[in-house]
Amino acid sequence: MRKFSVCILTAAVALSAIFSGCIPQSGGDLQPLAAPQSESSGWRVLGPGGGGAQFEPTISPADPSLVFVRCDMTGAYVSENAGESWRMFNLRTVVQDFEFDPNDPNVVYASNSGLYRSEDRGKRWRLIYPDPANVTAELMLGDHAGQRFVTRDGGPGGQIARVRVEPANSDHLYLGVSARGGQGGGGSRILYSPDRGANWKELASLEGRVLAIFPGSWIGKADELTVITDRAAARLGIDSGDIEELSLPAETVLAADGGKGETGSILYLLTGGMGMGREDRTPGRIYRSTDFGKSWSFADESLISGMETGGRPASFSTLAVCAGHPETVYLSCRAYPVVLNGFPQRQSGILKTDNSGESWNWTITICGGEVTSGTFNGGWIKRNLGWFGSPSELGVCPSDPNICYGTDSGRTWRTLNGGITWDQVVSREFPDGDAASRGLDVTTCYGIHLDPFNKDHFFITYTDIGLFHTFNGGRTWRHSIVGIPNQWRNTCYWLEFDPAVKGRIWSVWANVHDLPRPKMFRSGNLVNGRQQGGVAASGDGGRNWGLSTVGVMEDGEYKHAMRTAAVCTHIVIDTDSPVESRTLYVCDFGYGVWKSGDAGRTWEVKNKGLKDNFNCWRMVRLPGGRLILLVARGGVEGGTVIGGALYTSDDGAESWQSLALPLGVTAPNDLVYDPSDPDRMYLSCWPLNAGGGAVRGEPQPARVVEGDQLEVGRRETGGGLFRTEDGGKSWKQVFHEDMHVYAAAVDPANTNTVFINTFNSAAFRSADRGETWKRLGGYNFKWGHRPVVDTNNLGMLFLTTFGGSVYYGPAEGVAGAFEDIENLPAQRW
C-alpha cells in the first residue's frame, strides 16, 4: 500500500472558508425556461447554452431566418428566428449534412447513417434511405453505441457525408456516402435517385470523403454532376455512366464550395495549411474554377502577397460561398503571419471577398485570443473561458451574401451585415453575468446536484466548461469556477453538499474529460504527468472555491501527490463523521483512492487490496458505513480487455476486498442502492462487443441473448442493469445486456420505482424494481447519462446527457409524444 500525508498550502480561498456560508442570489431580468424540445414532448433542456463543438450551419435560401446547425454529440438544432432561439431534434446519430430543396421552401434534408426529409421546415422527419421497409435491425455497437441500419439487401451502410437536390428537378437527389466509419478512408459512393428517394443507383466510387456535389444544371447539363472529395474530383454522367477524372491543384483538399450567379458558376477549393486540427508546412491556398472544375487558378494572390515573410505559412480552416452570389466568399483563417507592435505574430479571424478572390478584407481579426479589429460579442464562453478563434465551419445564406454563420468549439455566431459585426447565438446574457440557453446546448454533464438548503439552487457538473449553478430554479446559470486553476477547469466530474452546513460543498476536477470512455485513454492526458486536477471546497454555495489538494509530500517530492496531477472523478462524504472534520473519499482515475479525515486538509492513499486496474471511477457509501468502489474497464492491450471491478471496504477504506461482478460483466459504470433496503442495489453496466478480445483475469464468458441470431462482432454482451437483494452476493439481470446503461436512480418517495438512462436513444422507468420497463416518451437523445429524481418537485426528473446538457421533464414521460421521426422502423422496446 502506498501511503502519503499531504500538507495543505494556502490557495486562492482559504480552506477554512468551508465552515462559513452565504449563498448569493441571482439578479437580472428572468426569462422563461427553455422551450420544449417538441410541441408535445414535455421535456426542456437546461443550461447556459453552447459549450461544445458545432458544425454545418445551413441557411434557407427562401427564408434567411430558418437556420440549421448540428454538433458532434448527436443533437441537431433548428432556429426559425435567425438564431434568437433554437430547438434540438434527434435523428438517431450525428447529422453530417443539411440540404434545402431550392424549389420548395418547406423541404429540407438531413443525413447521417440514413437520409431524412422534412416537408415542414424541420418539425417532422421521415427516413427515406434506406427504405424503412428494407430495414431488418438497428444496431448500436461499440463504446459509443455507434448506430447503423441493417437491411435485407445487405447494403454496405456508411455515413452520408453530402446531399444535393438538383435545382432543375427536385425529384433528382444525389448522395455522397462514405465508407462505414464516416471519414472516407475506404472511399465514397455517389448515389442518384430519379424519384425523390424511392429508388437509387450508384453512379461511381471515388477515393476520399465527399466534400461537395455540384449539379450540372449550373452549366446547362442536367445529366451531369461534378463531385469533389478530399482526394479526388470527377465529372459523372448520370444516364451515360461516364466518369471523367478531373485534376486537382493539390494532393489534399480541405474544403470545396461554389455557386451560380448572373455571370455563371464559380467553384472554390481550399488546400494545404491546417484543417481539422492538422497542420503541415504546405501553404494554405484558395483556388477558383469558372469552367466547372476543368481548370483552376489562384484566388488568393492578394492575400499571399500581403503576408509577412518567414515562419510558418498561412493556415485556413474552411471557406463558404454564397450560392446565389458566388463572387462572395467568407474564409476562416487559423493563422496568418503579421507584424504587430514590431513583433511577428500569427493572426486569425475571418476574411471576405466580394469579387471572387481578387481582393480580400478582414471582417474580424484575433491575436492572442483577443479581438484586434472588428466587433464580436462572444458571450460567457469568451468572457469566462477566453475561448476565441477562427470558426471551424462557415455557412452563407444562398440568397443574401450579408448573412453568414460560423461555428467553433463552443459557439455558433452570425453576422447579418456582411461581417461588420459578429454575435454569438447560443446564450442570452444578463447584467449580473448569468446566462441562459437559447436552446443550442452541446455539453456533456455528469450530475444534477440539489442544494439541501435551497430548492432553487442546484449545480450541473460539466465536461469542457467545468461547473455551473443556478439560484432561480434553472432560469439563468452562473459559472462556478472562481478559485479553480485554469488547468483544472475543463471538467468537474462531481460535487457533494454537506447536509449539515449551509453553503459547504466539495467538488472534484480534472483536465481529462469524457471518462470512463476508453477514447480518453488514447488522448495521452492520463500518462506522462499530463494529468491535472484535484479537490476544491467552497463555503459560500459555490461562488468561490479553495483548493483542498494543493500540497506537497512530506518528503518534499511531488510524484504521486494529488496536488495538481490527480484526475479526480468522484467524491463521497462520510455524513456520520464530525461536522468540523468530515471524512472524505476521492476516486483518482488511474491511481486509486484518497481519504481525508480532516475535511480535506490532509490526504492519504488507500489502495490496500486493489489489484492491477486502478481506474477508480465511482464510490458508494451505504448507510451502515460500507464502501463500494467501482473500477472502470480499461483499454485494450494486445487484444486483451482490462476488465473493471467492484471492491468493498468495511474499515473506512483501510483495506479493500473484491466483490464479484455479475457473470459476463467487464464494465461496471454506476451503482445505486435502495434507501429503504440498502442490500438492494442496482448496477449499471456498459457492454462489450462479442467480437472483442479476451478479458484479463478470471474467465468471464459472454452471455447469449436468447433468439439473437446476429453473428459475433455485431452483438454486445455484459451490459444492461443488474439488481442484487443481498448486498452483491448474487445478481439478477433486469435489463437487456446489449444496452449501454450509464446510470440508474431509485425514487426515494417510492423505492419500487427505478429509472435508467442509456446511450441507445432512450431512458426507461420501472415501477416494480426492474421486473418490467416502460420507455420515457418524448425523450430520445442518443447518448444519455444519469437520471436524477427532482426531490423538490413531485413527478419531475432530470436526465443528464453526453452532449445535450440536461433534459428536464415528467418522470413518467409523455405517452404518445412525437419524437422527430414519423416512420422509424420498429424498435426492440
Taking only the tens place, the pLDDT of each residue in 670-686 is: 999 999 999 999 999 99
Do 404 and 526 lie in one domain? The reply is no
* 46-64 mean pLDDT: 97
Q: What is the pLDDT of residues 200-221, one digit of tens each?
A: 999 999 999 999 999 999 999 9
Do 380 and 341 lie in one domain? The reply is yes
Query: What pLDDT, on a 0 to 100 scale, did the predictor assign at position 730?
Result: 98
**Comparing 164-178, 294-308, 616-630, which segment has the lowest mean pLDDT?**
294-308
Q: Which of 270, 396, 226, 273 is nearest to 327 (CA)?
A: 396
* 499 assigned to some structural domain: yes
Query: What pLDDT, on a 0 to 100 scale, did the predictor assign at position 520?
Result: 85
- Between CA 770 and CA 461 the distance in angstroms is 28
* 20 assigned to some structural domain: no
The better pLDDT of the pair 699, 241 is held by 241
CA-CA distances (angstroms) from residue 395 to 67, 105, 315, 543, 680?
10, 18, 19, 39, 53
Q: Is the CA virtual torsion 129, 132, 134, 136 positive or negative?
A: positive
**What does the angle CA 24 – CA 27 – CA 31 come to, to the nearest 5 degrees?**
125
φ, ψ of residue 217 to 5 degrees: the values are -65, -20
* 88 assigned to some structural domain: no
Query: What pLDDT, on a 0 to 100 scale, did the predictor assign at position 309?
Result: 57
Q: Which CATH number do you get for residue 291?
A: 2.130.10.10
CA-CA distances (angstroms) from residue 790 to 455, 749, 778, 787, 811?
10, 11, 18, 10, 9
* Model confidence band, residue 15 (pLDDT cutoffs 50, 70, 90): very low
Query: What pLDDT, on a 0 to 100 scale, did the predictor assign at position 343?
Result: 82
Residue 627 in contact with residue 609, Cβ under 8 Å?
A: no
pLDDT > 90? residue 97: yes
* Model confidence band, residue 746 (pLDDT cutoffs 50, 70, 90): very high
Residue 450 in contact with residue 458, Cβ under 8 Å?
A: yes
Instruction: Count the Cβ atoms, other than its own, within 10 Å of residue 559.
Output: 10
* 84 assigned to some structural domain: no
* 265-286 mean pLDDT: 74
Instruction: Return left, alpha or beta for 47; rule: phi > 0 is left, psi -120 to 50 is alpha, else beta.
Output: left
Do 419 and 467 lie in one domain? The reply is no
Do 461 and 419 lie in one domain? The reply is no
* 56 assigned to some structural domain: no
- Give this prediction's pTM: 0.92
Q: What is the pLDDT of residues 534-579, one digit of tens each?
A: 999 999 999 999 998 644 444 544 333 454 578 999 999 999 999 9
- For residue 513, the enclosing domain spans 443-621
CA-CA distances (angstroms) from residue 688 to 568, 702, 704, 739?
25, 9, 12, 10
Do 447 and 344 lie in one domain? The reply is no
Strand locations in 306-438 (E): 315-321, 329-340, 343-353, 361-367, 370-373, 375-377, 393-396, 404-407, 412-415, 421-424, 427-429, 435-437
Query: What pLDDT, on a 0 to 100 scale, did the predictor assign at position 522?
Result: 74
- Between CA 651 and CA 625 the distance in angstroms is 8
Do 802 and 680 lie in one domain? The reply is yes
Do 824 and 691 lie in one domain? The reply is yes
Do 374 and 516 lie in one domain? The reply is no
* 334 assigned to some structural domain: yes
- Between CA 214 and CA 227 the distance in angstroms is 6
Instruction: Count the Cβ atoms, other than its own, within 10 Å of residue 759.
Output: 28
* 620-626 mean pLDDT: 97
- Between CA 808 and CA 480 the distance in angstroms is 21
- Between CA 115 and CA 223 the distance in angstroms is 22
Query: What pLDDT, on a 0 to 100 scale, did the predictor assign at position 186?
Result: 76
Domain boundary (621, 647, 676) is at 621
pLDDT > 70? residue 468: yes
Do 401 and 458 lie in one domain? The reply is no
pLDDT > 70? residue 13: no
Share of the chain above pLDDT 90, in %: 78
* 39 assigned to some structural domain: no
- Between CA 688 and CA 695 the distance in angstroms is 10
548 Cβ contact list (under 8 Å, min separation 6): 8, 15, 506, 534, 535, 536, 537, 596, 600, 601
Query: What pLDDT, on a 0 to 100 scale, did the predictor assign at position 18?
Result: 41
Domain boundary (573, 603, 621) is at 621
* Model confidence band, residue 827 (pLDDT cutoffs 50, 70, 90): low
**What does the angle CA 341 – CA 344 – CA 346 come to, to the nearest 5 degrees?**
110
Do 353 and 487 lie in one domain? The reply is no
Share of the chain above pLDDT 70, in %: 86
* Model confidence band, residue 698 (pLDDT cutoffs 50, 70, 90): very low
Q: What is the pLDDT of residues 311-326, one digit of tens each?
A: 577 889 999 999 999 9
Which residue's entry shows cell 465527399? 210
Q: Mean pLDDT score of the chain, rounded to an integer?
A: 89
Q: What is the pLDDT of residues 367-421, one digit of tens each?
A: 988 899 999 999 999 999 988 889 999 999 999 999 999 999 999 999 999 999 9
Query: What pLDDT, on a 0 to 100 scale, did the predictor assign at position 689?
Result: 80
CA-CA distances (angstroms) from residue 186 to 205, 228, 250, 275?
10, 16, 20, 20
pLDDT > 80? residue 28: no
DSSP single-letter state for residue 314: P
The better pLDDT of the pair 790, 705 is held by 790
Domain boundary (381, 404, 430) is at 430
Do 555 and 524 lie in one domain? The reply is yes
Tell me the H-state helices in 240-331: 301-305
* Model confidence band, residue 304 (pLDDT cutoffs 50, 70, 90): confident
Domain count, the chain: 3
* 122 assigned to some structural domain: no
Do 455 and 532 lie in one domain? The reply is yes
Using the CB atoms, write b or e for 727-741: b if 16+ within 10 Å: bbeebebbbbbbbbb
